[in-house]
Amino acid sequence: MSSEGNVGRRKSRQACEQCRHSKRKCDGKEPCYSCRRYEHICSYSSRPRRRARIQGEKRSEEHLSPTTSVIQNDEVPTAVPEVVEKRSAKQISSVAPVPSGNTFARHLMAELSNGETQPLEYSSWNLGLRLDSAYETSIIDLAGLEEASLYSQVYFEKVNPVYSIVDQGRFGEQLQDRWTSSSSQSCEFDAIICGVIALGSLFSGANAFHRESQIVELGQKLLERWTPVDRLSRSSLPIATARILRVLYLRMAVDPRAAWQASRSSILALEGHSSDDTRNEQDSRCSTGNATSLMDEAQIHRKLHWIARLLDRIRNEFHPSQWDRDIVTISCPPPTPSPPGILDHTSTLISLYVVSLRFTNSPEHKSLAELTKILDDIDALPMSSHDALQLHKSNHALCIYRFMRLTSSVIPKRTLARILCTAKPGLAGAVRLAKDSQPW
């Protein structure tokens, strides 16, 4: 150990403020050894410490020093300006300049604060992304057109019927244009392609894409680059769609905390974007060709809002305080049902979710009659042939049964038979989904 380190461990009769706060031994210099070592500002209190009184010995007034008398009278002596200026100049000259951002922030805070400011927690400095090198990889480099078409087909067969937020015809045209274009620059549509391929690979079972994780990472980088956090404009519909696709993937493949963070970001971003249905109706009267496109956009906007709200409900029965969060209210009407002949179960899923809010979002326990009425409304919903929808309906019926058990110990046999009848198709559908490697 060096001689300077040995000197630093000698105890002084007066320690600096930093050593007193950290409970370290101070050598009494200006600056002291510890402050020079850890790049702290070394300062001493202008008021001397009060000596401990000796037990049984009384001090007379004539033996007290003027400083001690002032302290006992609760008066703070005024520091001599010349001494303060001399100490500050000596302290500043002794501090070696170091190229440290934390040191600069610490020194600046000490000069500007009045002594009552809490110490800062110095974290890393975020200097931003280097966009020139962070986004060199594009979707064309990770997947070919054949692979993209294959996993997109899996997505539209197994996922899009339940969460119908991507138009298959328009997606196919843009997919062909993306691979035939000469530009290698990433665009907003690439984020949708990443989400579609990732979900298609996830639902392919053993035939999953070998670059699925890289596709997911690329989609995240694209969203961080293109997505405005505060508000989504009408031109950013692809980004909003890509956000929901990412949340769907995370809900099935990764930790619930990451999925909840992504869903909350999506719902807050969608909350900032107001779907102006009145303006869409006025614009649709201008031309017949533009009417269909605007109405389709309004329908997709409604689906995105409600699906984001549905996916935002992540709960943990064992630790509800950790996972249960307040629902962000969205003032958006539900989407209208699709015309007959179109495979779209999204409206049924949203209707089932709206009914479930009546018993899951209420702080008070429902009576047996109220829960029976909710069960009637669930049974009145149109029956869906998709196994995922049947599983959702079965879960809601069993949830109502648990609420009934909390409310009343006696449940009519007819009601129990109805619950079992509603839950049975969902259990059979769950078996088929497991055999088909569909992680619903």
At 182 the pLDDT is: 64
Residues 192 and 340 in one domain: yes
Residues 233 and 308 in one domain: yes
Q: In which residue ranges of the chain is pLDDT below 50? A: 1-8, 52-81, 83-96, 98, 132-134, 227-235, 274-292, 315-327
C-alpha 347/C-alpha 367 separation (Å) is 28
At 148-174, the pLDDT tens digits run: 999 999 999 999 989 988 988 889 988
Domains identified in the chain, total number: 3
Residues 408 and 435 in one domain: yes
Record the pTM. 0.63
Backbone angles phi, psi at 65, to 5 degrees: -75, 160
Residues 289 and 216 in one domain: yes
Residues 149 and 89 in one domain: no
Sequential DSSP letters for 44-102: --SSPPPPPPPTT-PPPGGGS-HHHHHHHTT-PPPPPHHHHHHHHHHHHHHSPP---HH
In a domain, 60, yes or no: no
Residues 301 and 374 in one domain: no
**193, 139 contact by CB (below 8 A):** yes
Residue 244's Cβ-count burial label (10 Å; 0-12, 13-18, 19+) is buried
In a domain, 294, yes or no: yes
At 79-95, the pLDDT tens digits run: 444 544 444 444 444 44
At 83 the pLDDT is: 44
**131, 177 contact by CB (below 8 A):** no
Residues 167 and 149 in one domain: yes
At 429 the pLDDT is: 87
* Domain enclosing residue 234, as ranges: 137-344
Residues 217 and 152 in one domain: yes
In a domain, 100, yes or no: yes
In a domain, 132, yes or no: no
At 329 the pLDDT is: 55
**82, 90 contact by CB (below 8 A):** no
- Residue type (1 letter), 170: R
Choose the final residue of a domain: 292, 312, 344.
344
Examine residue 31 and say whether the peptide bond preceding it is cis (omega within 30 degrees of 0): yes
